Amino acid sequence: MNVNAICTALAQLREQAPLVVNITNYVVMNNSANALLAIGASPIMAHSREEMTEMMAFAGALVINIGTLDRTWIERMTFAVEQANAAGKPVVLDPVGCGATSLRAHTARQLAALAKHLTIRGNASEIIALAGQASQGKGVDSQDPSETALEAAKQLVEQYQAQVVISGATDYIVSNDGTFVLNNGHPMMTQVTGTGCSLSAITGAFAAIGETSGLAAAAVMGVAGEIAAEQAKGPGSLQVALLDALYNLDENTLTQRLKLSQLA
Ligand SMILES: Nc1ncnc2c1ncn2[C@@H]1O[C@H](COP(=O)(O)OP(=O)(O)OP(=O)(O)O)[C@@H](O)[C@H]1O
Ligand SMILES: Cc1ncsc1CCO
Ligand SMILES: [Mg+2]
């Protein structure tokens, strides 16, 4: 996949405006819904077991984010993944704070094992912890450079037959097709909660239109993030500017700014 394929995927996303069902955390529900709208997709935050079978029949994709987990949510998430599988819909898993507690690690592994058409998107500490290795995450924040999660990501690709996106200063998109490397974004993005969760939500939107979702999503998020950082005075205005940048992102800007390569 090259920059032209990413631009085509973005045009298709905006034309089709896929419905993305999110079971996400209380912190980022608003950020994630707005990020999906800004890029051109259609979000719905839905949790109820009673509507999930119907929902997955007409949804484009399911995004599961374990950020504010408890027993009730685990049961709903499990059922939602089963319904996505039954309807043949792709699933994106965001293993938020995976290294922080065994509840998160255990739940993320169970959901990953269950999902049939899976993309995992996490920061380096989360990907390392999900693979069962020792990570240095602090709660939901990564303390590990993204390249240190590459071996873990490759393990997860094999183990779950998944595509894995490691976000960070450099983003890595790891799958059976090889490893793509993206060097966009801005460090200030880590000072706004939920930029990673928004990336996972947008990954769901690209998965819904059937493209190499993790790469296209990381590309638009990275480029929009660096444009937003140029305009922002700090994290508060960055959050707003990021939505504007996602909304206004065009092919020329994406092509000119994208720093994409592939690992040998
Ligand atoms: N140091 C950095 N330089 C440039 N871009 C960055 C940097 N750190 C993160 N990003 C970008 O910020 C976005 C979110 O990635 P991050 O790894 O911070 O997610 P996260 O830790 O899961 O965030 P959250 O849990 O708050 O949603 C990605 O698009 C990533 O490329
Ligand atoms: C801060 C925080 N706590 C649980 S989820 C979340 C949002 C970022 O992942
Ligand atoms: Mg996160």
Which residues have their alpha-adjacent CB atom under 5 A from ion ligand 3?
Answer: 96, 196
Which ligand places an atom closest to the C-alpha of 193? 1
- Residues 52, 144: Cα–Cα separation, whole Å: 36
Which whole-number Å values give the CA distances from 172 to 121, 184, 260, in the listed order? 10, 11, 10
- pLDDT tens for the chain, 264 residues long, are 899 999 999 999 999 999 999 999 999 999 999 999 999 999 999 999 999 999 999 999 999 999 999 999 999 999 999 999 999 999 999 999 999 999 999 999 999 999 999 999 999 999 999 999 999 989 999 999 999 999 999 999 999 999 999 999 999 999 999 999 999 999 999 999 999 999 999 999 999 998 678 999 999 999 999 999 999 999 999 999 999 999 999 999 999 999 999 998
Handedness of CA 117, 123, 126, 132 (dihedral sign): positive
Q: Is 167 annotated as a binding residue?
A: yes
Query: Which residue owns the Cα nearest ligand 1 atom 7?
Result: 169
Is the CB of 28 inside a 6 Å radius of any atom of ligand 2?
A: yes
| Best residue for ligand 1 mutational test, from 172, 195, 203 (most atoms within 8 Å of Cβ) | 195
Q: Whats the size of the chain, residue-wise?
A: 264
Query: Which residue owns the Cα nearest ligand 2 atom 5?
Result: 67
Is the CB of 189 inside a 6 Å radius of any atom of ligand 1?
A: yes
pLDDT digits (tens, 9 = 90+) for 38-66: 999 999 999 999 999 999 999 999 999 99
Domain containing 72 — which CATH number? 3.40.1190.20
Is the CB of 196 inside a 6 Å radius of any atom of ligand 1?
A: yes
Query: Which residue owns the Cα nearest ligand 2 atom 4?
Result: 67
Q: Please give the distance, rounded to the nearest whole angstrom, from the Cα atom of residue 84 to the centre of ligand 3.
A: 22
Domain count, the chain: 1
Q: Please give the distance, rounded to the nearest whole angstrom, from the Cα atom of residue 195 to the centre of ligand 1.
A: 6
Is the CB of 144 inside a 6 Å radius of any atom of ligand 1?
A: no
- ipTM for the predicted complex: 0.98
Structural domain including 90 reads 3-262
185 — alpha (psi -120 to 50), left (phi > 0) or beta? left
Q: Output the furthest CA–CA distance in the chain (Å, rounded).
A: 47
pLDDT digits (tens, 9 = 90+) for 211-235: 678 999 999 999 999 999 999 999 9
Q: Which atom of ligand 2 is nearest to the CA of 140?
A: 9
Is the CB of 99 inside a 6 Å radius of any atom of ligand 1?
A: no
Spatial contact of 61 and 21, defined as CB atoms under 8 Å apart: yes
